[in-house]
Structure 1
Amino acid sequence: MGSRRSLSNTLFQRQLRGVQNLYDRMDRMNQLGPQFIDITWNAGGRLSNLTCEMVNVAQSVYGIETCMHLTCTGMPRSKVDNALKEAYKAGCTNILALRGDPPRENEKWEVDPHGFRYAKDLVKYIKANYGDHFDIHVAGYPEGCEDGTDPELLLEHLKEKVDAGASSIITQMFYDVDIFLDWVKKCRDIGITVPIIPGIMPIHTYAAFMRRATWTKCHIPEKWLSLLEPVKNDDVAVRDIGRDLMVELCQKIIDAGILHLHFYTMNLATATRMCLEGLGLIPSLEERTKALPFRPSLGLNRKEENVRPIFWKNC
């Protein structure tokens, strides 16, 4: 029993250190000036309590605006209700509503008999219960998704999610800007008018770059491969070349009139920082300096605080 208790305590301490390390990284990345930082949701919601706790701490303690991911996978309505209630109480105003992937032990996605079948159903439910409190973001797939659904049908589904009340679309990662811009035009042609925010995946290492591109089945331009392949074993060179390629991609997006970018950091700030520096989008020290002598909380009913009480100890 003693050895089992010791192992349990060790694992618990490791989890605590891991969570604190994640808070520290979020705090550092907040210096890059994002509108919000994503808190993801695991398949099946097994760590839903931790997700809700992290949203609460990020908002109330660190003063970081968050976007809580919420999926339909393994989520009965009662669990969705609890997650939304906790997000609301934490002061969170952004939800990314997803159908979600199946848990690792399941080959195919299955609807929870007491939950929601599609992301559009989740969007409708959030809108019906919380009105305009949450900006509800949904996923878009410029190059299709892994289940092989017909691209035209995916566009119809996306329109349904927007019509259900979605505030904006955040896309899957891509590396071919022409494919993305052509997909945006198709969205506009079928009457989708909400902001479309491109998903940007910075390049950290060649292996990770190829693995993610293969997993999402996104097209890699020949120019990119010809530049990255010869230096694939040199991580520094890969990051430098990757920065230039990503800056060029992002600049084309901005030049096309799309002024929001959604970076998939994978909890690593370096490559994202390099891209933002190349684009001239890092906030200055003056812009980051708060007028208040304390870090404001973003908890519910505390976002407008401009004073904080000071208690003097009686001597």
Structure 2
Amino acid sequence: MRVSQVLKENVRNEAPSFSFEYFVPKTSQGVQNIYERIDRMRELTPLFVDVTWNAGGTTKPNATTTNEMITKINKSYDLDTCMHLTCTGMPREAVDKALKEAYDGGCRCILALRGDAPLENEKWDAAQDGFLYAKDLVKYIRENYGDHFEIGVAGYPEGHPEEHDRDLLIGHLREKLDAGASFVITQMFYDVDNFLDWVKACRESGITAPIIPGIMPISQYASFIRRVKWCDINVPTEFLRALERVKDDDAAVREVGAELVTEMCKSIIEKGGIYHLHFYTMNLEKSTKVILERLGLLH
């Protein structure tokens, strides 16, 4: 499976598809729960699933790692996988180990990310013998593994905490693609018009790779507000007002949130001609499933 090829076929056939993101749980019970959820959600037939980066570490010898989850998902659940790999604080030896384990575990796709700087550091610096930018990681993967891995990279429709110049960020995105990446997954957003305007600017800059919108379902009002502030993204006024009216009723928030995000996805498909949606599940099942049902994408 080559993600970029399937997405281009989707556009030609006007046939939507979707994928799911999961993160590595912190407890053994959480790991068991997420495997059970993945087992159920595979019946929804996602194009692929991805797992955010967690290297474990010497202080947590029993911690599950991203590589472990990727291998199990590939071998036990028969799902195509995409492994996040960040180069924040990662010496080259650790990157080599992660890539070899991904290769041995049957993974054929990497989402190459710089990652966030450690909280105690005011300025981002590469680890000794590591990589400074995602484009350097992309190039390294290509040089060492040829075309074995398809490589995705991150896009920021509403800017990055360290840079808000849209044209400059689009230039950086183009550099990552020129280094060997073949598709883009965006940060979460709720402003569809801004997203589509950003996609248009990307195309005008010469970017032709598929762009996958990152979709964040809404389960609770407090967590919705927290993520919006953390990512520093805009929420349309009517969107925010609809949620504020029911913010003290979790069930109502889920219902209103599902309707708002469903309409958002419809606009992305109908206005933007973009036929793949990537759901940040937050290791939850119901909200994502409801949206897919309302979009008519479950058969």
TM-score by length of 1: 0.82
Aligned to 2:282: 266
Bigger mean CA offset, 144-153 vs 183-192? 144-153
1:46-61 map, 5 Å: 46=57, 50-61=65-76
State whether residues 212 and 277 of structure 2, in contact with CA within 8 Å, keep that contact through their aligned partners in structure 1: yes
Pairing partner for 2:142 from 104, 127, 130: 127
**Alignment partner for residue 276 of structure 1, among 289, 292, 295?**
292
Confirm whether residue 31 of structure 1 aligns to residue 47 of structure 2.
Answer: no
- 4+ residue stretches of structure 1 with deviation over 6 A? none
Does residue 22 (structure 1) correspond to residue 38 (structure 2)? The answer is no
SS in 2 for 1:31: helix
8 Å contact kept, 2:163–2:169: no
Q: Is the 2:112–2:134 Cα contact (8 Å) retained in structure 1?
A: yes
How big is the shift at 1:244?
Answer: 1.0
Aligned to 1:7: none
Specify every segment of 5 or more residues in structure 2 that has no aligned partner in the other structure, as ranges.
1-25
Deviation at 1:221, TM superposition (A): 0.6
Output the CA distance in 2 between the equivalents of 1:92 and 1:113. Answer: 27
Moved more, 193-202 or 148-157: 148-157
1:213 and 2:228 matched: yes
- Mapped pair 1:257 → 2:269: no
Correspondence 1:242 to 2:254: no
Shift of 1:45: 6.4
Deviation at 1:18, TM superposition (A): 2.3
What SS does the corresponding residue of 2:262 show, helix, strand or coil? helix
TM-score by length of 2: 0.86
Cα distance in 2 for partners of 1:202, 1:18 equals: 20
Q: Percent of counterpart pairs with the same letter?
A: 60
Q: Which of 205, 218, 229 is 1:203 aligned to?
A: 218
Classify the secondary structure of the residue corresponding to 2:186: strand
SS in 1 for 2:50: strand
Residue 181 of structure 1, aligned match among 196, 199, 221: 196
Counterpart of 1:100 in structure 2 is: 115
Please state how far the C-alpha of 1:49 moved relative to its aligned partner: 6.7
Deviation (angstroms), 1:149: 4.2
Q: 1:103 to 1:31 in 2, by over 3 A?
A: farther
Once the two structures are superposed, residues 37-80 of structure 1 have per-residue CA deviations (whole angstroms, 9 ceiling, x without a partner) of 111114x7648972111111111122222211001111111111
Which is higher, the Rg of structure 1 or of structure 2? Answer: 1
- Contact 2:82–2:110 (CA under 8 A) maintained in structure 1: yes
- The separation in 1 between residues aligned to 2:176 and 2:223, in whole angstroms, is 31
What amino acid maps onto 1:269 in structure 2? E
Whole-angstrom CA distance in 2 between matches of 1:106 and 1:31: 43
**Cα–Cα, structure 1 residues 15 and 227, in superposed 2: closer, same or farther, change >3 Å?**
closer
Unaligned runs of 5+ in 1: 1-13, 285-315
Mapped partners of 1:146, 1:204: distance in 2: 25
Deviation at 1:148, TM superposition (A): 3.1
Structure 1, 203-212 or 145-154: larger mean CA deviation:
145-154
* Contact 1:41-1:51 within 8 A present in 2 as well: yes
Higher relative contact order, structure no. (Cα contacts within 8 Å, ≥ 6 residues apart): 2
The corresponding residue for 2:53 is: 41
Name the SS of the counterpart of 1:136 in structure 2.
strand
Residue 81 of structure 2 corresponds to residue 81 of structure 1: no
Report the secondary structure of 2:258's partner residue.
helix
1:297 aligns with none
Provide the rounded CA distance (Å) in 2 between the counterparts of 1:129 and 1:89: 14
